Structure 1
């Protein structure tokens, strides 16, 4: 049996005003082409189909076109929701996607059987997929409690909760089938890409899954969430295929692709990484005010997007810097000033004592050049209160 494992489409991503969806759509078309030429029996999509919970029409078109193309090729697929996806939104589409051969698991339920999908390959071999969508810590505690687990000692221990669910999924494995797991989360040993959004992945905290908790009967573990292609641990057959394109400047220079997995019942999987060519490359150019023109002259023919960082110790003002950069490099999406350690310390001191809404107001004013609209401030304050209330609920459960 041959599988194609992909994840982290992030359809709808906008990078510094540039809509990346056309590039992502091209990448998805390339993936379906590889599914055909590699003669795969099934496709596994490990979450983050979209970049936001309310994707635009173009983003939805790109993703749903991908599943329709797989249908035309006669290739079934299993997909799960990631942390960027709206689980409720995807759940409402699960029935429709099922008509085109895509089995979607958007929300976990107390019944582990609801998280298991089975497919049959062309040669009759069965594929069992224990599919676990993204689960925040609070949701894991609630579900494990309903399912009868003794959560009293680990209500705030994410990895223990994940281990419990993986054990439940293992019970669906069959001796004469290909047995796989798929989940959207962070495994111990995972290396971040340096993405500008990697603040979401605090890899030093408890929100990780230990390789020791992965059932030994799992022949392959299809992961999503981290954008850098990798195997977090050599002792576990678990892989991140990474994102389809370089999504932001933290991923500049990374090769993107998918995993092709050859596997048969009872034998170790043989995965290998297959590169993709779609998507514009990203590049970060560092310069000083004195060598800026020379540095930008070297990247005049760069076919992708640029981020230009100008080192200005102390943060002395540089009037007209952005216009100066764009005149020499029209493909620069971002122009930033690095003030050095002294400048950063000064900025940090100015932020001390400010609330999150005040910090957001300041950030908006600095980036947009205008005051934050009252409606947007109200929405931010409401979202901030919701997060504070959720953390308070979790702490109350643990006391």
Structure 2
């Protein structure tokens, strides 16, 4: 029997367990954040938890990364709180599918891949209070696969974008048809919406190459009382009708997210009525900060930051052509928590070098991406990337 009392649903996304920042493993901080979120689910008396993708940072996560995520699910089980998760673009859909049965034993329903049968992507939770939650769960669907399936090779960008929207619209419409009158109906999706404001972290190779593929808020099923989004790391509301939210990543994952306040969303909702959304701030994770300093002020500025317990990126301004041997050692001696030390060269326009990508090859983009995440690109990875790029070009031509 359907009940009309208030349901409380906790929405989170983008854990990225296993993330390395300049070679520094952020997984312990992510684990702390997940422990904090599980505690909030308990203290806020959540009836269910929704995780909108990117549980892991890579398709082959480390043992520590898997421990962080699975420990989170076990904590939800211990609190008697069910959950629903979908795969994001950083997750291996096959890997998530392989553990879906085990996750089910602890009350976590996983949807790893889109299905032509909408019912395969509809998940239902019967809460302790007797309410029914119906979730249309759409995991990440590769833009490239959707476009290539449409055989649009050689089409213009506008045609690709429209075909992507049409393909995603098919799934969204079918999921909306699975909503149940008298129940609380929600949608989960891992995608980029029109108007979404990215964190600086997402101005990377991956985001730059795929941000042409977006969804319109007009495509969201009108019957959804709340749309639980994942993919964009900056917390934000993206649509009013239906209400659609990105909760953002759970810690400041890289220096592009420095200064962002992280959160999860608590959604209070009754069947047939508008949802009320409350942001719950998160305290876990080390603060990231980019320090821009003139060469002659390096020692003085770093000395003043001795009490800073977060992680630093130090950008040193110097005249063009200045040679600075030993600069990194000078910085690390005063600030062992500095993960990156870079020269800030004079600019010839308003764009910073790390955001100026016009005319760069895929290899150059990848080198910048790797340098930001893990440091200089090793020769073996450079060769492997070049081989993969050539193979992909050959496959597309065929």
Cα separation, partners in 2 of 1:216 and 1:144, compared to 1, 3 Å: farther
Give unpaired runs (5+ residues) of structure 2: 1-6, 152-158
Instruction: Provide the rounded CA distance (Å) in 2 between the counterparts of 1:364 and 1:8.
Output: 20
Instruction: Provide the rounded CA distance (Å) in 1 between the counterparts of 2:303 and 2:127.
Output: 53
Matched, 1:111 2:117: yes
Cα separation, partners in 2 of 1:121 and 1:365, compared to 1, 3 Å: closer
CA contact (8 A) 1:41 1:122 kept: yes
| Match 1:250 to one of 247, 256, 270 | 256
Q: How many matched pairs?
A: 382
Moved more, 377-386 or 275-284: 377-386
> Can you list the C-alpha shifts for 1:40-68, whole angstroms capped at 9, x where unaligned?
00000000000011100000011011111
CA contact (8 A) 1:137 1:156 kept: no
CA contact (8 A) 1:10 1:51 kept: yes
CA contact (8 A) 1:186 1:203 kept: no
Cα separation, partners in 2 of 1:320 and 1:363, compared to 1, 3 Å: farther
SS at match of 1:244: coil
Q: Which residue matches 1:388?
A: 393
Moved more, 356-365 or 301-310: 356-365
SS at match of 1:68: helix
| Match 1:322 to one of 325, 328, 341 | 328
SS at match of 2:101: helix
Q: Which residue matches 1:379?
A: 384
The CA deviation at 1:327 is: 1.3
The CA deviation at 1:371 is: 9.0
- Equivalences for 1:68-217 in 2 at 5 Å? 68-140=74-146, 157-195=163-201, 197-202=203-208, 205-217=211-223
Cα separation, partners in 2 of 1:92 and 1:368, compared to 1, 3 Å: closer
Instruction: Provide the rounded CA distance (Å) in 2 between the counterparts of 1:285 and 1:19.
Output: 21
CA contact (8 A) 1:3 1:42 kept: yes
Matched, 1:238 2:244: yes
Q: Which residue matches 1:5?
A: 11
CA contact (8 A) 1:141 1:156 kept: no
Report the RMSD for the aligned CA atoms in angstroms. 3.1
- Equivalences for 1:40-59 in 2 at 5 Å? 40-59=46-65
Q: Which residue matches 2:287?
A: 281
Moved more, 153-162 or 94-103: 153-162
The CA deviation at 1:353 is: 9.4
Q: Which residue matches 2:155?
A: none
CA contact (8 A) 1:43 1:75 kept: yes
| Match 2:341 to one of 327, 331, 335 | 335
CA contact (8 A) 1:196 1:249 kept: no
CA contact (8 A) 2:23 2:375 kept: no
CA contact (8 A) 1:315 1:340 kept: no
The CA deviation at 1:280 is: 0.6
TM-score with structure 1 setting the length? 0.87
Q: Which residue matches 2:154?
A: none
Give unpaired runs (5+ residues) of structure 1: 146-152, 394-399
Cα separation, partners in 2 of 1:244 and 1:292, compared to 1, 3 Å: same
